[in-house]
Structure 1
Amino acid sequence: MYLRPLDPVADGPALHTIFGDPQCCLWLPEPAFADIDATIAKLTDWTTGFEKTSWAIARTPDGPAIGRISLFNTGHDKDVWEAACMVSPATRGQNIAARALSVAIEYLFATTTARRIYADIDPDNHASVKTFEKLGFTREGVLRGEWVTHIGIRDSVIYGLLRTDPRPSIPDKPVLVETGK
């Protein structure tokens, strides 16, 4: 498995299996995207905006994307970053998100002065909660009524990982393809 820089145009069609699926997008602020063009537009917006560290997960270096990992600085503190991930429905249950995130987290801590990475998760998104807990993130609290989403007003559960926190060993990590960033 590989992590490579995300290319919105090239990866958009494959990632539309995620971002065009209402069940996959249930916990996002916006509903699933109507078509591939909308997915490409949103990925372009994200990767040219606040996301400077965004990868496609693929089985081969040039293969189709089966998921997406993003670590981005939220702007309020240069050393605090947010993590996000999604994998295609066909790959669920294979520990792909945790394996890919572990590589991205190692890369971020090795190449920046980041001291903290956090995840903002809907409390009913049990798969994401489990993924971040596997990676050693600590549940820090709940922000009640934090998000206005396409399914209503939702709470956020915040998970955090400090640079100094112990991290569990994750087997079968993907290879990180040179990011150029």
Structure 2
Amino acid sequence: MQMFETTTFTTERLRMRPLTALDAAALFEVFSDPEVMRYWSCAPWTELKQADEYIDNATQDLAAGSMLRVAIEVAASGKVVGQLALHHFDEQNRRCEIGYALGRAAWGKGYMTEAITSMLDHAFAELPLNRIEADVDPRNAASMQALARLGFVHEGLLRERWIVAGEVCDTAFYGLLKSDWDARPR
């Protein structure tokens, strides 16, 4: 079991830290936006209490060491603009999945690449993981491009994996190995 309670990552522009109850409004803003949630595996949130429940679950999972979910906060303003998570840990095989969401106002600024890079550095050096996987709707070109820039390899397509609000969706499956991460140009 991992221990994540005090895990915080910082970059020049961002701070990734455990979610708190004070983040509910900012997370609701992200997860209630239909554009942000277009390729997510659930429908947009409709009530603030969904953010409260999400944070409660994230706090419990963090304490149990079953998931590392952090807020993405812009250092200069303190504004939470998204979230990033490592989840579905398989300790025997030293792998997990990565998931992320970023509010529309923060798109196109390089925040997600910066946040994921920091998380991957930690995951491969400290946890230690050998493989990280990502599940992306193949219509989400921006997410697939971000993963490719980070060195993730497209490994296949899982047809009709999700049904979200009655819409059947495929999954593009990506993987990143520690050896690939360590060998990347810096």
What range describes the TM-score normalised by the shorter chain of this pair? 0.7 to 0.9
Deviation per residue, 1:101-144 (Å, 9 max, x gap):
00000001111131000100000011110111110101001011
Secondary structure in 2 matching 1:123: coil
Q: CA contact under 8 A between 1:134 and 1:168: conserved in structure 2?
A: no
- Distance (whole Å) between structure 2 residues aligned to residue 40 and residue 61 of structure 1: 25
Q: 2:148 aligns with which of 126, 133, 140?
A: 133
Q: Which has the higher contact order (CA 8 A, sep 6+)?
A: 1
In the alignment, which residue of structure 1 is the partner of 2:84? 69
Secondary structure in 2 matching 1:13: helix
Secondary structure in 1 matching 2:29: helix
Residues 77, 145 of structure 1: CA spacing in aligned structure 2 closer, same or farther, 3 A cutoff?
farther
**In terms of mean alpha carbon deviation, does 151-160 or 5-14 score higher?**
5-14
Measured after TM superposition, the shift of residue 52 of structure 1 is 2.4
Query: Match of 2:36, as an amino acid?
Result: C
In the alignment, which residue of structure 2 is the partner of 1:45? 57
1:25 aligns with 2:40: no
In the alignment, which residue of structure 2 is the partner of 1:83? 98
In the alignment, which residue of structure 1 is the partner of 2:47? 35
1:54 aligns with 2:86: no
In the alignment, which residue of structure 1 is the partner of 2:132? 117
| Unmatched runs of 5 consecutive residues or more in structure 1 | 170-181
Secondary structure in 2 matching 1:41: helix
- Distance (whole Å) between structure 1 residues aligned to residue 53 and residue 77 of structure 2: 21
RMSD: 2.0
Deviation per residue, 1:42-80 (Å, 9 max, x gap):
232244238521211112288121111111234485511
In the alignment, which residue of structure 2 is the partner of 1:176? none
| Unmatched runs of 5 consecutive residues or more in structure 2 | 1-12
Report the TM-score when normalising by structure 2.
0.82
Relative to its length, the structure with more helix (as a share) is: 2
Q: CA contact under 8 A between 1:8 and 1:40: conserved in structure 2?
A: no
- Distance (whole Å) between structure 2 residues aligned to residue 111 and residue 16 of structure 1: 31
Measured after TM superposition, the shift of residue 12 of structure 1 is 1.6
Q: 2:165 aligns with which of 147, 150, 162?
A: 150
Q: CA contact under 8 A between 2:16 and 2:115: conserved in structure 1?
A: no
In the alignment, which residue of structure 1 is the partner of 2:108? 93
Residues 23, 108 of structure 1: CA spacing in aligned structure 2 closer, same or farther, 3 A cutoff?
same
Report the TM-score when normalising by structure 1.
0.84
1:162 aligns with 2:177: yes
**In terms of mean alpha carbon deviation, does 56-65 or 22-31 score higher?**
56-65
Query: Match of 2:85, as an amino acid?
Result: S
Q: CA contact under 8 A between 1:135 and 1:168: conserved in structure 2?
A: no
- Distance (whole Å) between structure 2 residues aligned to residue 85 and residue 104 of structure 1: 11
